[in-house]
Amino acid sequence: MKNMRIIIYGDEIAEAQFYETLCRDLSKERKIPIELKVYSSSDELLFDLGDTDFHERVDIVYFCLDQGNLEVPGLIRDTGYMNLIVFIGAEEVFVPYEELFDAEIYNFVQDDRSSENLERFAHIFQKADEDVMKNRAERITLSYAGEIRRIDINQIHYFEVQKHTLVVHFGDKETFTFISTLSKMENHLKGRDFIRVSRFYLISLDSVQKLTANGVIMYDDTTVPVGRKYYAEIKNALDKKASEA
C-alpha cells in the first residue's frame, strides 16, 4: 500500500500541529499509511509547491484558512498543484465561499473542533485516501516545462524514446513529451500489461492489433519496431492475453 502524501498549512503553528496529530491518529486507527509535512510560512509552502516534482507527489493539502491568507489558495493552484485542497476555518471565512472557491473542488471543515466537525474531517481523510488510490490506479500524471497532463492509463498506446525525452502516445493520436526513462515508466506501470519491445519503446498490450515480422501493429495502424531479443517475450505475452480473453 502506498502512502497518502499530505501537507498541512496554518499561519498559527499550534493549529497546524493539532491537525497533524489528528491525521497521524487517523492514520493509525484506519491503517492508512501517510507522509506528512507541516508549514506555517506561505512563502515556504509556495516555494516547495513551485517544484513540479514535489507538488506531483502531494495528494492533499489541509489549509487552515483565515482572513489574512485568502489569496494563498489561488497561488497554490498557480504553481500547477491540481490535487485536493481541504479548507479548515471559521464559518464566517467561508461565507460566501462560492465567491472565493470552486465548491465542487474544495472541501470545508469548520475549526470549532466539535465532534461533528472532527467526524467530518475524519470522513474527508478516509474519502481522500480512497480517491487517491483510485486515481493512482487509473491515471498517470506527467509534466514538462510547466505543463501538466493527467492521462488515463487505459488510453495509453505506447511510450517512445526521442533523444533525451519520452513521448507518450495516447487517445486519438495524441502525444505528450516529458522527461523520464523507459525503465522508470516500466516500473511505474508494472502489472498493467505494458511491455518493453525494444530499447526505445514500451507498449500497452491492450493497444496491439497484431504482431508481424516487421514489428507490432497498434490499433491506430502505427507499426512499432520490435527488437530481436524481445520478440519471443512479446509473442508469449500476446498469446497469453489472447488465451485469457
For 14-36, what is each residue's pLDDT tens digit? Answer: 999 999 999 999 999 999 999 99
Residue 187 to residue 159: CA distance in whole angstroms: 13
Q: Same structural domain for residues 120 and 159?
A: no
Task: Give the pLDDT band of residue 161 (cuts 50, 70, 90).
Answer: very high
In a domain, 82, yes or no: yes
In a domain, 177, yes or no: yes
Residue 151 to residue 139: CA distance in whole angstroms: 5
Task: Give the pLDDT band of residue 89 (cuts 50, 70, 90).
Answer: confident
Q: Same structural domain for residues 73 and 167?
A: no
Whole-number Cα distances in Å, 207 to 35, 47, 55, 203: 36, 40, 31, 8
Which residues span the domain enclosing 225? Answer: 149-244
The residue among 64, 73, 17 whose CA lies nearest residue 46 is 73
| Number of C-beta neighbours around residue 218 at 10 A | 18
pTM beyond 0.75: the answer is: no
Which residue intervals of 80-142 are DSSP H helices? 91-94, 115-138
pLDDT of residue 34: 92
Whole-number Cα distances in Å, 25 to 9, 39, 52, 88, 210: 18, 19, 29, 18, 52
* Residue 88 · residue 117 · CB < 8 Å: no
Residue 42 to residue 16: CA distance in whole angstroms: 13
pLDDT of residue 233: 93
In a domain, 157, yes or no: yes
Last residue of a domain, one of 88, 109, 138: 138
